[in-house]
Amino acid sequence: MPSPRYWREVPARFRLEASRCGSCGKVSYPARQICPACRKKELEPTRLTPRGSVVTSTVVHVAPDDLMMEAPYAMALVETPEGPRLMMQVVDCDPSQVLAGMDVRFEFRKIRKEGHSGILCYGYKAVPA
Amino acid sequence: MREVAIVGAGMTRFGELWESSLRQIFAEAAIEALENAGTDRLDGMWIGNMSAGRFVNQEHLGPIMAAEIGRAGVAAARVESACASGGAALRAAFLDVASGASDLVLAAGVEKMNDGVDVTDVLATASDQELEAYHGITFPGLYAMIARAHMQAYGTTEEDLAWIAVKNHRHGAMNPKAQFRREVTAEQVMASSVVAEPLRLLHCSPVSDGAAALLLCPLDQAKRYTDRPVKILGAGMGTATMTLAERESPADLDAVKHSAETAYKMAGVGPGDIDVAEVHDCFAIAEICCLEGLGMVERGKGGEAARTGETALGGRIPVNTSGGLKSKGHPVGATGIAQAIEIYEQLRDESGDRQVKGAKIGLTQNMGGSGASSVVHIFGRV
Cβ of residue A56 closer than 8 Å to a chain B Cβ: yes
CB of A37 within 8 Å of any CB in chain B? no
Separation between Cα atoms, residue A83 and residue A78, nearest integer Å: 10
Interval B43-99: pLDDT, tens: 999 999 999 999 999 999 999 999 999 999 999 999 999 999 999 999 999 999 999
For A57, the closest chain B residue by CA position comes to B145
The reply to whether B86 and B129 lie within a common domain is no
Cis link prior to B218 (omega < 30° from 0)? no
Do B281 and B168 form a contact (C-beta atoms < 8 A)?
A: yes
Q: Which residues in chain A are closer than 8 Å to B135, comparing Cβ atoms? A: 75, 87-89, 111, 123
The verdict on A42 and A96 lying in the same domain is no
Is A112 found in the same domain as A59? yes
CA distance B377 to chain A (A): 29
Let me know whether B350 and B254 are in one domain: yes
Domain region containing B48: 4-118+207-224
Q: Which of B121, B131, B132 to mutate to test the interface with A (most CBs of A within 10 A)?
A: B131
For the stretch B183-192, contacts whose Cβ atoms lie closer than 8 Å and that sit 24 or more positions apart, written own/partner, are B186/B159, B186/B162, B189/B161, B189/B162, B189/B165, B190/B158, B190/B159, B190/B162
CATH code, A112: 2.40.50
Whole domain around residue A117: which residue ranges? Answer: 49-129
Residues 77-96 of A with CB under 8 A from B: 77, 84-89, 96
Chain B partners within 8 Å of A86 (Cβ): 131, 245
Residues B326 and B345 in one domain: yes
pLDDT given at position B32: 98
B237 and B167, same structural domain?
yes
User: Are residues B280 and B180 located together in one domain of the fold?
Assistant: yes
CA Rg value for chain B: 19
Count how many pairs of residues, chain A against chain B, have C-beta atoms within 8 Å.
105
Closest CA to B377 of B338, B351, B348: B338
What's this model's pTM, rounded to 2 decimal places? Answer: 0.97
Q: Is residue B363 scored above 90 in pLDDT?
A: yes
- One-letter identity of residue B351: S
Residues B169 and B317 both lie in one domain = yes
Interface of B with A in 71-110 (CB under 8 A): none
pLDDT at A7 (0 to 100): 87
Return the pLDDT at B67: 98
Query: What per-residue confidence (pLDDT) applies to A1?
Result: 62
- How confident is the model over B268-290, as pLDDT tens digits? 999 999 999 999 999 999 999 99
Whether residue A124 is found in the same domain as residue A67: yes
**In sequence order, which residues have a C-beta less than 8 Å from that of residue A26 and are 6 or more positions away?**
A20, A35, A36, A37, A38, A83
Quick check: A55 contacting B, CB < 8 Å?
yes
Q: Measured in Å, how far apart are chain A's first and last C-alpha atoms?
A: 31
pLDDT at A120: 87
A63 shares its domain with A121: yes
CATH of the domain at B73: 3.40.47.10
User: ∠ CA B163-B169-B172 to the nearest 5 degrees?
Assistant: 145
Assess whether B140 and B31 both reside in one domain. Answer: no
- Do A18 and A75 lie in a common domain? no
Chain mean pLDDT for chain B: 97
Number of domains in chain A: 2
Q: Do B246 and A85 touch (CB under 8 A)?
A: yes
